[in-house]
Amino acid sequence: MIGGLFIYNHKGEVLISRVYRDDIGRNAVDAFRVNVIHARQQVRSPVTNIARTSFFHVKRSNIWLAAVTKQNVNAAMVFEFLYKMCDVMTAYFGKISEENIKNNFVLIYELLDEILDFGYPQNSETGALKTFITQQGIKSQTKEEQSQITSQVTGQIGWRREGIKYRRNELFLDVLESVNLLMSPQGQVLSAHVSGRVVMKSYLSGMPECKFGMNDKIVIDKQGKGGTTDDTGKSGKQSIAIDDCTFHQCVRLSKFDSERSISFIPPDGEYELMRYRTTKDIILPFRVIPLVREVGRTKLEVKVVIKSNFKPSLLAQKIEVRIPTPLNTSGVQVICMKGKAKYKASENAIVWKIKRMAGMKESQISAEIELLPTNDKKKWARPPISMNFEVPFAPSGLKVRYLKVFEPKLNYSDHDVIKWVRYIGRSGIYETRC
Amino acid sequence: MPAVSKGDGMRGLAVFISDIRNCKSKEAEIKRINKELANIRSKFKGDKALDGYSKKKYVCKLLFIFLLGHDIDFGHMEAVNLLSSNKYTEKQIGYLFISVLVNSNSELIRLINNAIKNDLSSRNPTFMCLALHCIANVGSREMAEAFAGEIPRILVAGDTMDSVKQSAALCLLRLYKTSPDLVLMGEWTSRVVHLLNDQHMGVVTAAISLITCLSQKNPDEFKTCVSLAVSRLSRIVSSASTDLQDYTYYFVPAPWLSCKLLRLLQCYPPPEDGAVKGRLVECLETILNKAQEPPKSKKVQHSNAKNAILFEAISLIIHYDSEPNLLVRACNQLGQFLQHRETNLRYLALESMCTLASSEFSHEAVKTHIETVINALKTERDVSVRQRAADLLYAMCDRSNAKQIVAEMLSYLETADYSIREEMVLKVAILAEKYAVDYSWYVDTILNLIRIAGDYVSEEVWYRVIQIVINRDDVQGYAAKTVFEALQAPACHENMVKVGGYILGEFGNLIAGDPRSSPLVQFNLLHSKFHLCSVPTRALLLSAYIKFINLFPETKSTIQEVLRSDSQIRNSDVELQQRAVEYLKLSSIASTDVLATVLEEMPPFPERESSILAKLKKKKGPGAVSVNELEEGKREGGELNGGGGERGGDNSTIAASNASTPSPSADLLGLRTGPQVSAAPPSAGSLLVDVFSEAGVNDDGFLRDLEPPTESSDSLLAEGPGDSDSAPPSAVSEDAAPPLPESNELLNKFVCKNNGVLFENQLLQIGIKSEYRQNLGRMYLFYGNKTSVQFVTFTTTVSCPGELHPQLNVQAKPVEPLIEGGAQVQQVINIECLGDFCEAPLLNIKFRYGGALQNLSLKLPVTINKFFQPTEMASHDFFQRWKQLSQPQQEAQKIFKASHAMDTEVIKAKLLGLGMALLENVDPNPENFVCAGVIQTKAQQVGSLLRLEPNAQAQMYRLTLRSSKDTVSKRLCELLAEQF
């Protein structure tokens, strides 16, 4: 039960303040500002307790969103709600920024009234919200429309309205993954995991029933045991072990629990079908090999090699390697074969950017760093080298096996739906120690 | 930063600062700083030929970054380089960086010291000043080591510029504060003192801070500064506001200097030289006069400066405390401020008045403002001012206005801030006790206090009210009635229940006559609160119940029922359970006599320092207790101890003081507690002994605190034989009147001890300690002044009336005619017994207290048995003697009912206390006691034999005394019959 919700700008000025419960006083707004935003020491915990009141905050660019409560609530629920709130706002007016919030404050209050009721989260489905919270002022809706909205919002399938019609039934499916890695200088993987999302955009008529299939190890093994399918041999070793996953509310969980099949009536438009995480058999797209040599007290030689480790036919994009430099760096000379490299003093790092790189290639950079002798005995902590990239495959190995659409009432079948599938693998925190 | 505003202002720095200011977020700021740091690093590394200007600029940027809270680990060398520059701004920035950033253990310190040394020896006054400022700002030990010798030389050198002298004085002060051992004044002392005569006011102002600090440490060396300071002060005070030009601040001449001079004078006693003193008094009068003049400016600075001097002058007047005229004038001046618009002024006035109130000269003057202060307490908006007002009320309270002040404080308490409530409660409790003229008022006040602010009433407060009620029999009945009424309120505070339980348990019988407060009603009332109370209170209530059984046998069955109930006897709290079990058993097994002994009324508590006062002191903390408070404390302590001096509140402290200072007075208090009959003496039945020894052990803190130090047989046995003889009676009187043949009961309480409190009233306490050998005795009397006012023309005379004269020779040493408030004096009386006697000598005391003549006559506790010499003898010897003394007039016999429990140990102790030898295995009946002794008089020796036959069934004793002289037998028999 969220007692109230505040939005601050980077200076700590309150942009939005909505209090749902009486136990939250007016001073709660200031308490958060004083103790968190303006705190002398940066507050790193997302949950702060001030005077028996709990504040949960997330930060989006320079905007602080804080939910406040006096009760012992489920913190995960609150954060889930805050993220949803961010999604909803993004869906309505794009980037969350001070200006956007100021321009849309009426809308935000309207949204807050709808998605939280006496502090209990309600429907936060953008698609559904957009049907009755619009930016176009009051459009006099007919009685039927109103009752339709009511029945939809309060009904069993709150995320989809009836009577949707498209001339072309289309479906877009994106598998978005981010790879996180920490590697030792010797190339040993210290920790690695992939967190992925399946994002769909559906433009389907009527109330279709969809079924989504992927190379989930449990499903494949089950089928393999039954020996009924013929593709066991093909996909057997390509099946992946999913550590945990969460679904959009449209997915029938009972069916997933019993048969592990993902079937659902999709919302209209864009939504996130599922989220998952894997830790086993991850394809690491890049390998970073660092070489750091200290030459006396005033010089440092750095050589970094990166190797791409995927099919040569694929192209990685937006590659950026960030090599931290010591705090007493006084000058840097860089030589690189490919791409552009630059010493960024404001970030204390050498940033090396490569636009494109094919699989199974390697590239290298070498740099000479001059140091200023200091009277500080502290040794440089050597932060890890980090990397950013984008590759056109799923590093977890996830494959979409099928996505079937059934709409018995209307006269189109699975074959008539145009389906698009795309895989994008991005780097999360992809670091190698040096 | 002055350099920026100058012509060659650093543009790069200004740009950088404005960049930082414009950063939208913390991250952006960090980025900008990182960029700048990288830039500075590359500059400092690369081109060696960095000119002074850029060096200064970058060092400045580093300093700014450091002040933003980032670590700086380079640039120190560049800053040190700047020190050797010849340009003022560069040197200044260098020194600034170093005083902010260089820590004392840096390797660079040698280089820095070198640069400072160069600057100090240069002839350029600005460079010297910069160097001095740097030394003072760093102020480390290393700096002190390097420059402590140099700076005094600069300070007193004739050719030093005035501005440098100022800096040097302040720099030296700083070094002295950090490492006093390194700054050795010695030869410079007189020359430093003469800086007070300097032409330049700035030098004087700087020097006086140094002198004040130094003279606090070694006042004697700087004594000469007093006359100089006075003359300087008089010159300033008498000057017109235009005379001092630069040093006139809003029409007030040199206010800072004046304040400092006045403060310096506060380090010393009033000047002895009449001329100097006259001049000073004149100055102070002028300052007070000036306060009356209309302000020359409406600006707040003007009045602030004026008032600063005035308050400092008033502190000095209070410090001297010898000029009644000035004190009264100061008080009147403060009285005006009490109603001033400015809150700060009111605060200061109240604070100063607190100290004024403790001075005897101005106490009365302070009292005239009572209405204003009470008004301030009620209406003041600022809590700190209200607190001061409460302090002042406390300080100005005396006997005349105590009732009014206590009533006001009580009424304020209902609305007082929570933060000061506890302190207020303590103050009310102390005032009520200290100035209680009649104790029923005291009891009313404290009960009110508990009612209004029960939560803030600490344990000490209600311990105290119980101690007082127990020690004063005149108030007990009233107290019982009042608590009974108070307890009838539907919701009363737990502390009230505690007081109620204790007092009704002790003195419930005094109000039992009234059918509205019959025993059963009392019990039911108490028991109705029982379940709402915490465990300690319940334990106390259980003790009160068992006392009820003793007081009112008719409640026995009801109470036993309660004790027997599961909620008591099976209570999960072990303390409550144990009490229930033991009390239940005690009430069913013991006979009424045993019960009566075990549950006897609590004996009076030994007087000690009021625990409340100790608590108040603790609460205020040593720093916060004003002088006044401390004095009050002393006074209070003395008074309550009957002149025993200050003593800790608990027994262990008393014991400790006994051990460390075997002075008679310490002994007195240690012993006095001895022979009192306690609530828990070892009793007849072995079961009961057991039960009680355990109960005693398990008594929790608060009860133990209440109970007087347990005493009894042990200490008696220890003391008795040591002092050859013990005397029984000590006549005690309550009124100041002719000799008081006071109650025999009181006399009997003191029958077996040589030491104790002979007499006590609100003014005076008389303690006694005596020792006897053969026919000689020596008695120490301790007269304690319980009030805060001295007793004058204090005289005592000891006389032996009538026929006693030829029997007893008493010589009293003269006693000092003046007893200060809270003090104690001692008198020695030598006694020689010439023949046997029956009467006791009379002690007459006369003194003046506040003008009224007080006259008291008491009986000195000298009785014939004091001159007993114990005689050991075997069985047959005893009976032979016994038979020899068989003439009827030689024997005195009495058969009487036991008034105390018939406990063998106690009886033995009493007989030993009498001074005779207790003979074991003489009488065929082991229950009987026989004793033998010889009374030593100058004329003759009188052998005496005693036989005491207790009859446990009938609760009777038969006492037989035989001695060679009939009067002796009779007298001893009379004395002893009351003892058992």
Report the gap between the CA of B3 and the closest CA in chain A (Å).
Answer: 28
Q: What is the pLDDT of residue A67?
A: 95
Q: Which helix (H) or strand (E) holds B782?
A: strand B776-785
Q: What is the mean pLDDT of residues B144-167?
A: 86
Q: What is the pLDDT of residue B620?
A: 58
B34 CB near a chain A CB, below 8 Å? yes
Contact A330 B31 (CB under 8 A): no
A41 CB near a chain B CB, below 8 Å? no
For chains A and B, CB pairs below 8 A equal 51
Per-residue DSSP letters for B144-194? Answer: HHHHTTHHHHHHH-TT--HHHHHHHHHHHHHHHHH-TTT---GGGHHHHHG
Q: What is the pLDDT of residue B83?
A: 87
Nearest to A375 among B39, B42, B107 (CB): B107
Helices (H), B339-417: 343-357, 363-367, 370-379, 383-396, 402-413
Q: Can you list the positions of beta strands (E) in A143-208?
A: 170-183, 189-203
Q: Which residue of A has its CA nearest to B43?
A: A330
Give the pLDDT confidence of B695-706 residue by residue, as tens digits: 333 334 333 344
Helices (H), B731-825: 744-749
Report the gap between the CA of A375 and the closest CA in chain B (Å).
Answer: 7
B851 CB near a chain A CB, below 8 Å? no
Among A203-207, B189-193, B527-531, top mean pLDDT goes to: A203-207
Strands A340-344 and A349-358: antiparallel
Q: What is the ipTM of this complex?
A: 0.73
B11 labelled ligand-binding: yes
Q: What is the pLDDT of residue A319?
A: 94
A345 CB near a chain B CB, below 8 Å? yes
Q: What is the pLDDT of residue A408?
A: 84
Q: Is the pLDDT of residue A197 over 90?
A: yes
Q: Which of B19, B34, B76 to mutate to test the interface with A (most CBs of A within 10 A)?
A: B34
A154 CB near a chain B CB, below 8 Å? no
Q: How large is the C-alpha radius of gyration of chain A? A: 26
Choice among A275-279, B489-493, B657-661, B769-773 with the minimum mean pLDDT: B657-661
- Which residues of chain B have a CB within 8 Å of the CB of A98? none
Residue B451: pLDDT band by 50, 70, 90 thresholds?
confident
Report the gap between the CA of B109 and the closest CA in chain A (Å).
Answer: 13
Closest CA to A370 of A326, A305, A340: A326
Q: What are phi and psi of B584, to 5 degrees?
A: -65, -45
A344 labelled ligand-binding: yes
Choice among A62-76, A276-290, B322-336 with the minimum mean pLDDT: B322-336
- Three-class DSSP category at B780: strand
Q: Which of residues 96-115 of B touch A (CB under 8 A)?
A: 106-108
Q: Is the pLDDT of residue A271 over 60?
A: yes
- Measured CA angle at A58 (ends A54, A64), to 5 deg: 95
Q: Is the pLDDT of residue B654 over 70?
A: no
Q: How many helices (H) and strands (E) does chain B have?
A: 45, 16
Q: What is the mean pLDDT of residues B50-72?
A: 88
A62 CB near a chain B CB, below 8 Å? yes
Tokens standing for residue A98: 């001070």
Q: What is the pLDDT of residue A225?
A: 60
Q: What is the pLDDT of residue B740?
A: 53
Find out whether B563 and B545 touch, Cβ atoms under 8 Å. yes
- Which residues of chain B have a CB within 8 Å of the CB of A376? 73-74
Choice among A337-341, A384-388, B785-789 with the minimum mean pLDDT: B785-789
Nearest to B38 among A329, A374, A378 (CB): A329
Give the pLDDT confidence of B173-189 residue by residue, as tens digits: 999 888 888 877 777 88
Report the gap between the CA of B73 and the closest CA in chain A (Å).
Answer: 6
Q: What is the mean pLDDT of residues B130-157?
A: 86
Give the pLDDT confidence of B531-549 residue by residue, as tens digits: 888 888 888 888 888 888 8
Q: Which residue of A has its CA nearest to B32?
A: A346
Contact A10 B74 (CB under 8 A): no
Q: Which residue of B has its CA nearest to A298?
A: B45
B59 labelled ligand-binding: yes
Choice among A20-34, A413-427, B200-214, B405-419 with the minimum mean pLDDT: B405-419
A376 CB near a chain B CB, below 8 Å? yes
Contact A376 B107 (CB under 8 A): no
A370 CB near a chain B CB, below 8 Å? yes
- Which residues of chain A have a CB within 8 Å of the CB of B44? 330, 372
Report the gap between the CA of B95 and the closest CA in chain A (Å).
Answer: 19
**What percent of chain B shows pLDDT beyond 90?**
5
- Which residues of chain B have a CB within 8 Å of the CB of A327? 37, 73
A375 CB near a chain B CB, below 8 Å? yes
Report the gap between the CA of A345 and the closest CA in chain B (Å).
Answer: 5
A348 CB near a chain B CB, below 8 Å? yes
Find out whether B466 and B502 touch, Cβ atoms under 8 Å. yes
Q: What is the mean pLDDT of residues A333-354?
A: 92
Contact A345 B44 (CB under 8 A): no
User: Greatest CA separation found in chain A?
Assistant: 82
Closest CA to B479 of B496, B494, B461, B460: B496
Residue B724: left (phi > 0), alpha (psi -120 to 50), or beta? Answer: alpha
Rounded to whole angstroms, the Cα distance separating B531 from B538 reads 8
Residue B672: pLDDT band by 50, 70, 90 thresholds?
very low
Q: What is the mean pLDDT of residues B609-624?
A: 60
Find out whether B932 and B919 touch, Cβ atoms under 8 Å. yes
- Three-class DSSP category at B452: helix
- Which residues of chain A have a CB within 8 Å of the CB of B46? 330-331
Nearest to B41 among A328, A346, A347 (CB): A328
Give the pLDDT confidence of B684-734 residue by residue, as tens digits: 333 333 333 333 333 343 333 444 433 333 333 333 333 334 333 333 333
Q: What is the mean pLDDT of residues B431-444?
A: 80
Among A107-116, A221-230, B799-808, top mean pLDDT goes to: A107-116
Q: Can you list the positions of beta strands (E) in A296-378?
A: 299-308, 315-324, 329-336, 340-344, 349-358, 362-371
Exposed, middle or buried: residue A100 (CB in 10 Å: 0-12, 13-18, 19+)?
A: middle
Report the gap between the CA of B45 and the closest CA in chain A (Å).
Answer: 6
Closest CA to B580 of B597, B565, B594, B568: B568
Q: What is the pLDDT of residue B923?
A: 78
Contact A328 B74 (CB under 8 A): yes
Residue A392: pLDDT band by 50, 70, 90 thresholds?
very high
Contact B45 A42 (CB under 8 A): no
Closest CA to A402 of A384, A390, A419: A419
B76 CB near a chain A CB, below 8 Å? yes
* Residues across chain B: 980
Taking all residues of chain B, what is their mean pLDDT, rounded to a whole number? 77
Residue A236: pLDDT band by 50, 70, 90 thresholds?
very low
Q: Which residue of B has its CA nearest to A344?
A: B35
For residue A291, list its beta bridge partners: A303
Contact A372 B35 (CB under 8 A): no
